[in-house]
Structure 1
Amino acid sequence: MTILVTGSRGRVARTLIDLLHAQGRSLRAGSSDPGASDPPGGIPAVRCVLDDPGTFRSALEGVCSVFLYAGRSADAATSFAEAAAAAGVRHIVLLSSSAVLEPGAADDLLAGHHAAVEAALRGGPVPATFLRPGDFAGNALQWARPIAATDTVRLPYPDAHTVPLHEDDLAAAAAAVLTAPERYSAPAYTLTGPQSLTFREQAELIGAARGRPVRVEPVSRAGWMAETSIPASYAEALLDHWRNHDGTPVATTATVAALTGRPARPFAAWAATHAAAFS
């Protein structure tokens, strides 16, 4: 039976497709622009847009399991689950966020849509498993241009902690849950990298990986807001999140090892792989 991977042009989904393809699984790559997809081995690319229920039926035909990006609408998730049930889908693995575990998540700008989509699927007609990663190691790529140009990154909270998760570890965990749901049957899994690191420490590791130190220059909230292209409301929410973790380590989990059989990759390994982006 076929596995549908939505958001197939994203970093996690692309890695997941490669892993499942290597296992010989029957796959379908879903995205809003299948013409821009390039899945390996002749895997069919199909149009699947969570905001367009008209794309669900053909994308889901013959599918047994789905890797689903959360989207931003609980109503869309409900419609998708109903279409999945009608198509005979037996399992949905949702890419959610550990932010849903924070107090007040339902009303939080960053976490609210994840919490709403989880709630919609939790009461839906298809069994669902929620993968809840924290911060991605790949978030550091937003520093690539200034580091490459000036050897400097300007940060409003350089000593804020995150637990950066290698996207390859998330993809491997998703592959395990998709292919062995009877073994990994918990309703949700919280995934983190192996170590809580400050942004300053992450910048140091990037510097070590590229062979040239990275300077960290503190910047005010207003200064950072003026420099970012992130919409103001989301930027403010991010700043508040970083402020709440300024100087405070974030708890880690051993979930990656439990699901994949190997420890989570350290941020240094991610930095070594992506050093060219910062050079």
Structure 2
Amino acid sequence: MKILVPVKRVLDYNVKARVKADGTGMDLANVKMAMNPFDEIAVEEAVRLKEAGIATEVIAVSCGAAVCSETLRAAMAIGADRGILVDCGELSDAELQPLAVAKLLKALCDTEAPQLVICGKQAIDDDANQTGQMLAALMGWPQATFASKLSVDGNLVTVTREIDGGLETLEMTLPAVVTTDLRLNEPRYATLPNIMKAKKKPLDSVKPTDLRVDVAPRLAILKVAEPPRRSAGVLVPDVATLVDKLKNEAKVI
């Protein structure tokens, strides 16, 4: 079984995000970038399936600028067998929108014919949570989102997913699309020998025109702004004063 895992290069989750002074987007100059944490979980799950003898090959895919090859190398250091970079040139992450990425992935799925696609449920930069669902719709495949447990038995995939009411278990037939939640697994650290091996693994590069996909943005971002700062808290001497402020100032009771 072949597994395809899309990975995205995003601002490292330990770095405080800053908005550009002109409000056109996020300031990514001279900041640390890393693989999207949900995608890292997806790579780990795919590698575990390969180690269990269920999968035969894990392919990591990234769409974006040429620098995204670093993210693919990181995925290969975790255990992916090879990488495919869809080089979108100077198109920014904000301009490369979920529908365009889903169409690029569909074109690659048509070429590579994977039996399972494992995506992170969302990217931490735009939190769109759309690409996996759109890909399943374009392919006409069953999907299971927010997976906290995944098992494959022959042609059947069983997924336990997190919903508002608790947990839900779904059973699907392959081929299928699964998106991962945080509790699915804990990604391993890439060891130095594996990082060195990743440099020798094959990494192919294609362009959207090669896949016959138009990646022009369909949505326009009008403005990006930081959330308003919260006002400082107030210490009150007793419960009576607290109740008075809640009633007369905050007017919540």
Which structure would you say has the larger RCO, counting Cα contacts within 8 Å and 6 or more residues apart? 2
Q: Does the alignment reach a TM-score above 0.5?
A: no
Q: What TM-score comes out, normalization by structure 2 length?
A: 0.36
Looking at secondary structure, tell me which structure has more helix per residue.
1
Looking at secondary structure, tell me which structure has more strand per residue.
2
